[in-house]
Amino acid sequence: MEFISWGAAEQVTGSMHMLKLSSGYTVLIDCGLDYDNNKKPLDNDGFPFDVNEIDLIVLTHAHIDHSGNIPTIIKHGYEGQIISTAATKDLAELLMADSVNIFVEKAKKSKSKKYKRSKNEFHERPLYLHKHVMDAVDRFVTIPFHKKFEISKELSLELIPSGHLLGAASVVFYVTEDGTNKSIAFSGDIGRRNYPILADPETLNEVDYLITESTYGGRLHSKDKTIEQVLIETINDTCVKQPGRLIIPAFSIGRTQALVYALHKLFNEKKLAPVKIFVDSPMSIAGTEIYRKHHALLNEEAQDFFRKFGDEFEFDGLKYVETLKESKQIASYFEPCIIISSAGMLEGGRIQDHLYHNIQNYYANILFIGYCAKGTLGRRLLDGVPVVKINGRELSVFAGIKQTDLLSAHADHEDLMNYIKAIDKTKLKRVFLVHGERNSMEALQTNIELMGINAEIAIKGKAYQL
Ligand SMILES: [Zn+2]
Residue 6 binned pLDDT confidence (cut-offs 50, 70, 90) = very high
CA of 164 to the centre of ligand 1 (A): 7
Q: Which pTM was predicted?
A: 0.94
pLDDT above 90 covers a percentage of the chain that reads 84
104 CA distance to ligand 1 middle (Å)? 24
Q: Residue 322, class by beta-carbon neighbours within 10 Å (0-12 exposed, 13-18 middle, 19+ buried)?
A: middle
Give the model's confidence band at 117: pLDDT under 50 very low, under 70 low, under 90 confident, else very high. Answer: low
- Mean pLDDT in residue range 433-444: 93
Q: Distance, CA 189 to ligand 1 centroid (Å)?
A: 5
CA of 399 to the centre of ligand 1 (A): 30
Ligand 1 centre to CA of 357 (Å) is 31
pLDDT of 305 over the 70 cut: yes
Q: How far apart are CA 152 and CA 175, in angstroms?
A: 10
pLDDT of residue 138: 97
pLDDT of residue 14: 86
Q: Give me the mean pLDDT over the 92-120 stretch.
A: 78
159-199 residue pLDDT tens: 999 999 999 999 999 999 999 999 999 999 999 999 999 99
Q: How far is the CA of 254 from the centre of ligand 1 (A)?
A: 10
The DSSP line for 83-126 is EE-HHHHHHHHHHHHHHHHHHHHHHHHHHSHHHHHHH--PPPPP
**Euclidean distance between CA atoms 30 and 97, whole angstroms:** 17
465 Cα–ligand 1 center, Å: 27
User: For residue 132, how far is its CA from the centre of ligand 1 (angstroms)?
Assistant: 22
Residue 26 CA to ligand 1 center (angstroms) comes to 23
Taking alpha carbons only, the member of 346, 345, 341, 316 closest to residue 327 is 341
> Of 45, 3, 38, which Cα lies nearest the Cα of 20?
3
Strand partners for 140: 82
Q: Is the pLDDT of residue 106 over 90?
A: no
pLDDT of residue 122: 56
The contacts of residue 461 (CB under 8 Å, 6+ apart) are: 4, 5, 6, 9, 48
Give the HSE-up count for residue 252: Cα atoms under 13 Å, Cβ half-sphere: 27
pLDDT of residue 105: 83
Rounded average pLDDT over 143-147: 97
User: Residue 121 pLDDT more than 60?
Assistant: no
Q: What is the pLDDT of residue 123?
A: 63
Which tops the pLDDT comparison, 245 or 391? 245
Taking alpha carbons only, the member of 82, 66, 86, 80 closest to residue 145 is 86
Say how many Å lie between the CA of residue 321 and the centre of ligand 1: 26
For ligand 1, the distance from its centroid to the CA atom of residue 66, given in whole angstroms, is: 7
Residue 96 or residue 111, greater confidence? 96
Give the pLDDT score at 103: 86
Give percent of the chain above pLDDT 70. 97
What count of residues does the chain have?
A: 466
What is the average pLDDT score of the chain? 93
Cα(114) to ligand 1 centroid in Å equals: 36
Which pLDDT score is estimated for 345? 82
Report d(CA 401, CA 439) in Å as an integer. 27
CB 215 within 8 A of CB 412: no
- d(CA 19, ligand 1 centre) in Å: 20
Give pLDDT, residue 76: 96
Count CA within 13 A, CB hemisphere, residue 99: 34
Backbone angles phi, psi at 356, to 5 degrees: -55, -45
> At residue 115, does pLDDT exceed 60?
no
Residue 197 to residue 259: CA distance in whole angstroms? 10
